[in-house]
Structure 1
Amino acid sequence: MTARDDTAPAAGEGRSGDMLDLTALWAAIKARKAWIIGPTLVALGLSFVAVNVIPPRYTGEARLLLENGDSFYTRPGPTADNYGAQFDSEGVQSQVQVVMSRDLAREAIKRIGLVGNPEFDSGAGALGALKKLGVLVGLGAHPADRSPEERVLEKYYDRLLVYPVGRSRIVAIEFTSQDPELAARAANVIASTYLEMQGAAKQDTARSASSWLSTTIDPLRKKLAESEAKVEDFRSRHGLLVGTNNTTITSQQLADLSSQLSNARTQQAEAQAKASIIRDAMKTGRTFEIPDVANNELVRRLIEQRVNLRAQIALESRNLLSEHPRIKELNAQLADLEGQLRAASERAVRTLENEAKIAGQRVESFTAALEGQKKTVSGANDSEVQLRALEREARTQREQLEQYMLRYREALARDADNATPADARIISRAVEPTQPSFPKKIPTMIVATLATFLIALAAIISRELLNGAAGPGGAGTSRPPRKPPGWVGAAAGRPDTQPEAGGDKTVDPREARVAGLLTHGGRVGQMQLDLSDPDRSLADLSARVDDGRPGYAPLVVVLDGAAPGDASARELATLLSERCRCVLIDLGSDAERHQPGFSELLSGEALFSDIITRRPNSRLHEIGPGYAGRAAVLAAPDIVEVALDALCETYDWVLVVAASTDEAAVLAPLVAQAQAALVMAGHVGNGHAVEAAYRLSDLTKAPIALVMVEGEGRAGEITREPSPVMA
């Protein structure tokens, strides 16, 4: 058990099902059905009259499709790749605002002829008496003070509705008028005017562009001519003449010398290599394997002669010896041929060596020429840098002039008639409507009637809820008005507490003593509990309760001192639960310890939802002492006070039952914060109950009453069964 904020919500968990009494609420609605049916019928009649009196209005609708109207024929040139560009969502919204622009509205008003139309022009016809009076007292301006278009603009915008249709590029134009033909014609005129204004805007843009380009092209052409003249003059002064492949002559000469030097070095190397190879071949006797030697005409003839001579020597050697003169002659001729072959090979070698020398001299010559040309080219580099800068400037101006010339031709072409189509087209023209768009008679009557019915019903229900009639306590009993404790004297003078004057009946001494106590001028009074008339009994109880704290239910301590078979505190609580939210805390005995109760709540072992139970076939909530018994509960008065405060915030009545035999020390913590104390006496002769009541008077200043029973009691004893009440 903790602070009050932790216990108050938990206490509410035990009565969430008793927040509303639908039966009592339905009874209140039936009792006041005239206040619901009457305004509903009046609303039905007034709405019927209104929809038949108000002049009907008709709405004409035209639709536009926003799309790029350019094509290859309307925009020739390199910008043809932009033909497919379409409007995005922002572009569609922008075009909606264009349709609603003031300039377009003025033009449409002229074409439709709204000036002078009494429906739109407040200055048409004579002023009424009310309008004249308003002008005189300054509540309105005279229509003649404004131009005709200004007078019509306000009504024009009231009757115009432009909006995009869904997630598309379609724009709907709606115009409302009392004349169906005017509504359709106005929507079509607004759409046509928008297309014309868009085409005219494009044409004006093209005309402005061509005008600006024409004033820009001539100065740019002159600047280009000057730049090109500077380039040629600089080229001629510095000798930077251009040859093939757009290179200067000096650079081209340098490239030619470099190529010739490379060829000369190749020839030199080739000749030297061949000569070296021939000499090596001569040393090894393989001279004739060299192609340059073998392909020599003289060498080929000498080789043929040598072959023939060797063949002749071989033929003669068959018949002649080696010392024969003929053989010697032939050998001498062969030796001479060999010498001629060697001499021819040496001449070939010398020829190649001479060629290598010549190639070397050419290499030296080309090298010297190349070095000189390099110096010439290096000196011309600075001039070429300046020349390239002049050429870039001239090239930039040439490209700019070409672009301007292209744009100028396009602008001239688009400035022509019908060459600038609008970026929209009409896909649905407005037709003359046959059904009015306002007022919708049947829906208007249904809505007005239903709204009035619901408002009247809500007012009745709110009144009943605020007055408490829809609560569990019935009409006027959920929180009855409290009376001041001035009821004691009236209760003390009741006839049934006095002995009959002059009667012959023998009076019981005990009853006489009780009657004497009740007529005494103390604070103890008497209350009649009539089970056959619960409303009177509960009203009597409400009158005997002190004014409690605002927002808290009354806390009543009940001492159960009735004899067996008499009405008990539980029957009184049952009567209260039939009219309001009531909880009974039974601390009178320790008989019921079979389930968690108040002691477990105080020790923190259980919540309110665990200990609050509901009686079968009743709306009464009960809390028992718990497993630890009532002694554990009464031993912690501070925590008990916090728990009782939480219950008083949740319920309409909180009854704490104690035993009439309890000592004052036990009852003091409970009675100290109570707004009333009751002693269940059962009958007037219960002197023990009277003594308990007087003992309570010493413990509290709250009203104290003896509860007597009238009428027939409840049949049977109502047993208490656990039924947890959850939120």
Structure 2
Amino acid sequence: MLRVAPVADPPGSLPPSIAGSAAPDRPSRQDFPAREGIALGDVGRLLKQRWLAVTVPTLAALVLSVAFVQLVPPRYTAESKLLLESRDSALTRPQQERGDAVLPIDEQAVASQVQVVMSRDLAREAIKRLGLVGNREFNPLIDGPNPVEQVLALLGLVRNPLEREAEDRVLDTYFKNLLVYPAGKSRILTIEFRARDPELAARAANTIADLYLSSLAAAKVDTARFASTWLGTNIEALRSRVAEAEAKVETFRSKNGLIGGLSGTGTSQPIGTQQLTELSTQLTQARAAQADAAAKAKLIRDLIKDGRAFEIPDVANNELIRRLVEQRITLRAQLALESRTLLPQHPRIKELNAQLGDLEGQIRSAADRTVRTLENDARIAGSRVESLQAAVDGQREVVAKGNTSEVQLRALEREAKVQREQLESYLARYREAAARDAESAAPADARVVSRAVVPDLPSFPKKLPIVACATVLVFLLAAGLVLARSLIAGGPDDREGRRRPARPQDLDDAQPFERGFSPSPAGLRPVAEQAEPAGDIPANDPVARAAEQEPAGPASAPVEESAAARPAIGPGGLTGVAERYAFDALITRISAIETAGGGRRILLVGTGTDEDLDTLSAALGRRLACDSRAVILRLDRGGDHPGLTDIVAGEAAFGEALRRDAGSRLHLIGRGFGEPALLLEERQGLGIALDALGQAYDWILCCLNDGPHPDTRALVGLAAAWMDAVVIASNAAPDDAGLVALFEIAEAAGAPDVIVAREEGPPPVAMPAYPLRRSA
């Protein structure tokens, strides 16, 4: 039988303790918290094992909840719904507010009305109307306090409940049974009342709604009544102030001569101003008449000089001049008639000429008189202008003095006007408030949209939901306590054959292995330890059972098996593996190593053939997969399926690379299509892949066979930096150069523990002692 046997350390290569020296800073997982807990698959098994601890509380909760819902007296809930809205119409609103839109009721107003419904004043009135003081449900102290309360009251520990008014005692129970809330974001107000008597519940909900509506209407009536009273008190005082203000206006006007009159435009103006306006108009007219007369006189005089006096309208229209002109025409006609028969020197001709000259002189004299008349009119108009100008100047001084008084008059008039308008406003509001001062004149700003009806079914207790919730809750609580106890105890126990990893402080007490030393004279320290597992072997541990029951054979038996009998790690799984290894001591030692979180990572380095490594890794992987989740990674052998190199390169997913081992729960991942050099180049990618696998598996077994290729040793150093333990499977001597080199590479990479495992030979056979005979 092949076991993990003790081997001496290579000289100067091992740490001073079994667990190895402190590892240097590793590339990852240093700061990750250690993974604790139980697997999801263990929940059902734990509940099955502790079924009694879960079933008994659940049944007890079921029985108690059924008894509770049967013994508790039922309570009935009735609800009444109110709609909050303004019920004032255009006819009932005040005159000033008839044109304004009604403001909507917001959420704050609804919340305020909820508090109004739950006010103490309204509650006291409801208690009186419903007669709750004499109801035992709301006033349990009708027959007096119970003995316990009496004793506590005598000792002074509590207040005597009878010292409070009966109505105050009922208030507490009343508010506990009353629930008022708005329905969502609407303006619907729901009033719920709970009582043992369904008729009382319905009657209470409707009574509270009616009292609330009555309180709103009464509040509006009180407001109108207060307004009418206040306005009536202030109107009389305001009337006297208005009379005083108007009297001051009239007194000031008469004292300062600011008596007004209607002007031409129909507006009232002071008399001084009106006189000034009239004088200014007369002055303007006089100036116009003066200018007109002077212009006419000058024009007529110029025309007379030019001999065109008859072209002047005023001259031509003069009656005297018109007769003189007619006479001149007649004389000229006679002169022309006589001139046909008489010579110019004839006395008749001279007489006619003399008469004609006299007529023309008269005509010129008449024209001169007209000019002088116009000039006299112009002088008269000038005198009038001067007198009017003096009058206007004097009136201006009078008006200027009156304007100062008029300013004061306007101020008095404004004050009187303001007080008059205020009085008129008060009178209008007083009439409206007096009209609304009636109980039915101001409707409440709410109405009942759904009155409460007598409920048929109780609201408490809900028998089926209470029984179901209590049973399920106690079941979940009991199951949670079982799982919590398992977590506190360190995970699932051994009842189903699962092993809890040994802790470092338990190794010395359990004594799971014996310490072995090399007889080499170099004074080497122990590196690997092995012993039979302490205690009985679990019945469901086929690997350990097969290892115990298999007879010991020669140490070279596994090596001499043909290559055909040793399967390789491939997509088809691991079949035909000889389960003849004992890994208990190795697993116990690796389990004692503290990890930074995630699954435990083991690097298995083989020094023989690939078939030997496949057989050993398959046996170890199956052993780990018996009670944990395990996966094998092959770092140096490729295949015809995607593998680790493809995952690191980002060309394949984990689901494409994972393969299932036939006949076990072990999972397999090959190297893939890439070369090992890819892993050396993508160091960070390899760490990320191992961290991801650590979240899904409890054991990650990386396999690598030592060979002549230069990348092999570099790959050992790279992988060892990410491992929790490095196991070197070698039957070589402790001072073998290749073994020492591998050990130093793994230790230099920072592996927490480096273990050298070798094949143990058969126990020595005791030879009988024969007496020596001397030959002939």
Partner of 1:373: 395
Q: Which of residues 231, 239, 246 in structure 2 aligns to 1:213?
A: 231
Partner of 1:109: 127
Kept in 2, the 8 Å contact 1:59–1:176? The answer is yes
Note the C-alpha offset of 1:457.
Answer: 4.6
Partner of 1:608: 687
Supply the AA of the counterpart residue of 2:688.
S
Q: Which of residues 64, 68, 71 in structure 1 aligns to 2:86?
A: 68
Q: Could you report, residue by residue, the CA deviation over 1:430-457 in whole angstroms, capped at 9, with x for unpaired residues?
A: 2222222222233333433443444445
Note the C-alpha offset of 1:594.
Answer: 0.9
Q: Could you report, residue by residue, the CA deviation over 1:682-726 in whole angstroms, capped at 9, with x for unpaired residues?
A: 342699xxxxxxxxxxxxxxxxxxxxxxxxxxxxxxxxxxxxxxx
Q: State the SS of the aligned residue for 1:60.
A: strand
Is 1:434 the counterpart of 2:482? The answer is no
Deviates more, 1:185-194 or 1:315-324: 315-324
Q: Which of residues 658, 663, 667 in structure 1 aligns to 2:743?
A: 667
Partner of 1:568: 616
Partner of 1:402: 424
Supply the AA of the counterpart residue of 1:90.
Q
C-alpha separation between the residues in 1 aligned to 2:318 and 2:27?
A: 129
C-alpha separation between the residues in 2 aligned to 1:376 and 1:522?
A: 137
C-alpha separation between the residues in 1 aligned to 2:312 and 2:492?
A: 135
C-alpha separation between the residues in 1 aligned to 2:230 and 2:164?
A: 40
C-alpha separation between the residues in 2 aligned to 1:429 and 1:489?
A: 82
Is 1:629 the counterpart of 2:695? The answer is no
Note the C-alpha offset of 1:157.
Answer: 0.8
Partner of 1:525: 529
C-alpha separation between the residues in 1 aligned to 2:398 and 2:596?
A: 113
Deviates more, 1:586-595 or 1:80-89: 586-595
Cα distance 1:172–1:523, how it changes in 2: closer, same or farther (>3 A)?
closer
Note the C-alpha offset of 1:292.
Answer: 5.6
Unaligned runs of 5+ in 1: 494-512, 649-653, 688-727
Kept in 2, the 8 Å contact 1:24–1:470? The answer is yes
Note the C-alpha offset of 1:150.
Answer: 0.7
Is 1:544 the counterpart of 2:625? The answer is no
Partner of 1:160: 178
C-alpha separation between the residues in 2 aligned to 1:622 and 1:555?
A: 6
Supply the AA of the counterpart residue of 1:192.
D
Supply the AA of the counterpart residue of 1:544.
R
Partner of 2:137: 119
C-alpha separation between the residues in 2 aligned to 1:291 and 1:444?
A: 128
Query: TM-score, normalised on structure 2?
Result: 0.68
Kept in 1, the 8 Å contact 2:133–2:170? The answer is yes
C-alpha separation between the residues in 2 aligned to 1:302 and 1:463?
A: 157
Supply the AA of the counterpart residue of 2:214.
E
- Map 1:126-525; keep pairs closer than 5 Å: 126-136=144-154, 140-244=158-262, 245-276=267-298, 278=300, 348-460=370-482, 476-477=498-499, 479-482=501-504, 483-485=506-508, 491=514, 525=529
C-alpha separation between the residues in 2 aligned to 1:433 and 1:268?
A: 109
% same residue: 42
Supply the AA of the counterpart residue of 2:222.
D
Note the C-alpha offset of 1:96.
Answer: 1.6
Q: Could you report, residue by residue, the CA deviation over 1:593-640 in whole angstroms, capped at 9, with x for unpaired residues?
A: 8146664465x6x4522577979x99864668899835446779xxx9
Note the C-alpha offset of 1:363.
Answer: 2.1
Q: State the SS of the aligned residue for 2:447.
A: strand
Cα distance 1:128–1:290, how it changes in 2: closer, same or farther (>3 A)?
farther
Note the C-alpha offset of 1:117.
Answer: 0.6
C-alpha separation between the residues in 2 aligned to 1:445 and 1:241?
A: 99
Q: State the SS of the aligned residue for 2:181.
A: strand
Cα distance 1:543–1:320, how it changes in 2: closer, same or farther (>3 A)?
farther
Partner of 2:759: 682
Q: Which of residues 644, 667, 675 in structure 2 aligns to 1:594?
A: 675
Cα distance 1:655–1:58, how it changes in 2: closer, same or farther (>3 A)?
farther
Note the C-alpha offset of 1:112.
Answer: 1.4
Cα distance 1:666–1:40, how it changes in 2: closer, same or farther (>3 A)?
same
C-alpha separation between the residues in 2 aligned to 1:331 and 1:4?
A: 161
Supply the AA of the counterpart residue of 2:165.
S
Note the C-alpha offset of 1:105.
Answer: 1.0
Supply the AA of the counterpart residue of 2:620.
L
Q: Could you report, residue by residue, the CA deviation over 1:663-687 in whole angstroms, capped at 9, with x for unpaired residues?
A: 5465247458766554332342699
Unaligned runs of 5+ in 2: 1-23, 548-581, 639-669, 765-776
Q: State the SS of the aligned residue for 1:7.
A: coil
Cα distance 1:166–1:196, how it changes in 2: closer, same or farther (>3 A)?
same
Deviates more, 1:165-174 or 1:446-455: 446-455
Partner of 1:81: 99
C-alpha separation between the residues in 2 aligned to 1:392 and 1:257?
A: 31
C-alpha separation between the residues in 1 aligned to 2:329 and 2:699?
A: 152
Q: Could you report, residue by residue, the CA deviation over 1:144-167 in whole angstroms, capped at 9, with x for unpaired residues?
A: 111111101111111111122233
Partner of 2:29: 8
Kept in 2, the 8 Å contact 1:488–1:523? The answer is no
Is 1:50 the counterpart of 2:68? The answer is yes
Kept in 1, the 8 Å contact 2:213–2:446? The answer is yes
C-alpha separation between the residues in 1 aligned to 2:701 and 2:335?
A: 156
Supply the AA of the counterpart residue of 1:594.
E
Query: TM-score, normalised on structure 1?
Result: 0.72
Cα distance 1:433–1:271, how it changes in 2: closer, same or farther (>3 A)?
farther
Q: State the SS of the aligned residue for 1:525.
A: coil
Partner of 1:99: 117
Q: Could you report, residue by residue, the CA deviation over 1:43-66 in whole angstroms, capped at 9, with x for unpaired residues?
A: 444333322322222222222222
Deviates more, 1:452-461 or 1:150-159: 452-461
C-alpha separation between the residues in 1 aligned to 2:526 and 2:30?
A: 40
Q: State the SS of the aligned residue for 1:247.
A: strand
Supply the AA of the counterpart residue of 1:609.
I
Note the C-alpha offset of 1:119.
Answer: 0.9
C-alpha separation between the residues in 1 aligned to 2:325 and 2:44?
A: 147
C-alpha separation between the residues in 1 aligned to 2:327 and 2:77?
A: 126
Kept in 1, the 8 Å contact 2:84–2:105? The answer is yes
Note the C-alpha offset of 1:113.
Answer: 1.1
Q: State the SS of the aligned residue for 1:125.
A: coil
Kept in 2, the 8 Å contact 1:195–1:425? The answer is yes
Kept in 2, the 8 Å contact 1:51–1:439? The answer is yes
Q: Could you report, residue by residue, the CA deviation over 1:338-357 in whole angstroms, capped at 9, with x for unpaired residues?
A: 77766666555544444333
Q: Could you report, residue by residue, the CA deviation over 1:567-598 in whole angstroms, capped at 9, with x for unpaired residues?
A: 42564245335544668788999998814666
C-alpha separation between the residues in 2 aligned to 1:628 and 1:303?
A: 160
Q: Could you report, residue by residue, the CA deviation over 1:374-393 in whole angstroms, capped at 9, with x for unpaired residues?
A: 21222333333333333333
Kept in 1, the 8 Å contact 2:287–2:381? The answer is yes
Cα distance 1:618–1:104, how it changes in 2: closer, same or farther (>3 A)?
closer
C-alpha separation between the residues in 2 aligned to 1:314 and 1:579?
A: 173
Q: Could you report, residue by residue, the CA deviation over 1:445-494 in whole angstroms, capped at 9, with x for unpaired residues?
A: 343344344444544555566667689xx97546444542477796489x
